[in-house]
Structure 1
Amino acid sequence: MAAKDELGRAGEQRAAEHLTTLGYEILGRNWRCPQGEIDIIARRGRELAVVEVKTRRALGFGHPFEAIDARKRERLWRLAYAWAAEHPDLARGGEIRLHAIAIVGVHPEKGALEHLADLR
């Protein structure tokens, strides 16, 4: 596995652990369909969180949240609705929200973590 992929996986693991400590139940990870991939799908109460995780070793190429532009958010919404259509029993009655988690540091398990909920 490439170092970049290992960094991303470690970041997603840290993000999932973070969400769990906030009371979210992880429903899925790395869900794929022809339109793309959702890093994490989680639920807390009626909220269904579709989570994009961005992990960087440093800020040399900008803050991880800068990579989540309007086009990426539109794609995440399309993916969220595709996931909900494929999992109606899990999505029923839930309010879908987009979240982003950024992790910056050489070691994702110790790096700085920022969590933005309800992206618009």
Structure 2
Amino acid sequence: MAQHLDTGRRGELLAKNHLLSQGYEILDENWTHGKAEIDLIAYKDSVIIFTEVKTRTGTGFGEPEDFVDNRKQKLLVDAADEYIYLMNHQGEVRFDIISVLIKGDHYTLKHIEDAFWPQG
């Protein structure tokens, strides 16, 4: 398997474990709709949290969270709209980014709550 896929999966596992340790319930992982994939869909305090996980092994091209551009945000929002519709969720939603920087056996995880707002 390609190393970048291993890195991404490791980052997603670290992110999932972080959310679980903070009292979040994981509703779905790698949920897809059209061309969009939502890495983790969590639930806490009656809020559905759509979480994009970005994992990198270096910052030469920017921080991991810098790679969630406007195009990616729109795909996430479109997929989230479908998920909300399917689940008939009437409450609040939030879009988070979990940034994971892996250096060998060590990692840094940054959980950015309310990372972006859906743009109309």
- Under a length normalisation based on structure 1, what TM-score does the superposition of the two structures give? 0.89
**Unpaired stretches in structure 1, ≥5 consecutive residues:** none
Q: Is the 8 A contact 1:57 1:105 kept in 2?
A: yes
Give the aligned residue type for 1:22: Q
Rounded Cα–Cα distance in structure 2 between residues aligned with 1:100 and 1:76: 11
Matched residue SS, 1:119: coil
Q: In the alignment, which residue of structure 1 is the partner of 2:28?
A: 28
Per the TM alignment, residue 110 of structure 1 is displaced from its structure 2 partner at its CA by 3.2
Give the aligned residue type for 1:110: H
Per the TM alignment, residue 9 of structure 1 is displaced from its structure 2 partner at its CA by 0.5
Rounded Cα–Cα distance in structure 2 between residues aligned with 1:66 and 1:79: 20
Q: Deviations over 1:44-67 (max 9, x none)?
A: 011110000000011112111111
Q: In the alignment, which residue of structure 2 is the partner of 1:71?
A: 71
Identity of matched residues, %? 36
Rounded Cα–Cα distance in structure 1 between residues aligned with 2:87 and 2:2: 31
Q: In the alignment, which residue of structure 2 is the partner of 1:83?
A: 83
1:111 pairs, out of 102, 107, 110, with: 107
RMSD: 1.4
Is 1:102 the counterpart of 2:112 in the alignment?
Answer: no
Q: Is the 8 A contact 2:96 2:115 kept in 1?
A: yes
Per the TM alignment, residue 118 of structure 1 is displaced from its structure 2 partner at its CA by 0.9
Rounded Cα–Cα distance in structure 2 between residues aligned with 1:43 and 1:110: 28
Per the TM alignment, residue 87 of structure 1 is displaced from its structure 2 partner at its CA by 2.5
Give the aligned residue type for 1:112: T
Could you tell which deviates more after superposition, 28-37 or 12-21? 28-37
- Under a length normalisation based on structure 2, what TM-score does the superposition of the two structures give? 0.89
